[in-house]
Amino acid sequence: MSEYVYGKNSFFEALDNRRIIKAFVLHDEAIKGKGIEYEICDRKTLDRLSRSGNHQGYVALVKEFELAEVDDMLKKENGLIVILDNLQDVHNLGAIIRTCDCAGVDGIIYKTHNSVKVNDTVAKVASGALEYAKIAEVTNLVNTIRKLKEHGYWVVGTDGGAKMSYTDLKYDMNTVLIIGSEGKGISRLVREECDFMISLPTLGHVTSLNASVAAGILIYNILRTRQS
How high is the pLDDT of residue 195? Answer: 97
> 86 and 58 in one domain?
no
Q: Which phi-psi region, left, alpha or beta, contains residue 164 (left: φ > 0; alpha: ψ -120 to 50)?
A: beta
| One domain, residues 16 and 31 | yes
Indicate which CATH number applies to the domain containing 216.
3.40.1280.10
Q: What is the pLDDT of residue 180?
A: 93
Q: Please say which residue of 30, 46, 63 terminates a domain.
A: 63
Of the three residues 13, 40, 63, the one that is the final residue of a domain is 63
Backbone angles phi, psi at 115, to 5 degrees: -140, 155
At 2 the pLDDT is: 58
> Does 11 lie in the same domain as 115?
no
When computed from its CA atoms, the radius of gyration of the chain, rounded to whole angstroms, is 19
Q: How many domains does the chain have?
A: 2
Whether 110 and 136 map to the same domain: the answer is yes
Do both 10 and 117 map to the same domain?
Answer: no
Whether residue 110 sits in one domain with residue 48: no
In this structure, are 57 and 100 located in the same domain? no
Are 57 and 74 within one domain?
no
pLDDT at 204: 82
In tens digits, the chain (228 residues) has pLDDT values of 458 999 999 999 999 999 999 999 999 999 999 999 999 999 999 999 988 778 999 999 999 899 999 999 999 999 999 999 999 999 999 999 999 999 999 999 999 998 999 988 899 999 999 999 999 999 999 999 999 999 999 999 998 889 999 999 999 999 999 999 888 899 999 999 999 999 998 888 776 789 999 999 999 999 999 987
CATH of the domain at 15: 3.30.1330.30
- Return the pLDDT at 207: 66
- Say what the pLDDT of residue 164 is: 95
Based on the domain organization, do 13 and 88 belong to the same domain?
A: no
Domain match, 35 and 81 both: no
Is the same domain home to 75 and 22?
no
Buried b (16+ CB within 10 A) or exposed e, 80-117: bbbbbbbbebbebbbbbbbbbbeeebbbbbbbeeebbb
Q: d(Cα 35, Cα 151) in Å, to the nearest integer?
A: 43
My answer on whether 46 and 158 are in the same domain is no
Domain that holds residue 184: 70-227
From start to end of 64-215, where are the E strands? Answer: 80-84, 107-111, 135-138, 154-158, 164-165, 175-179, 196-199
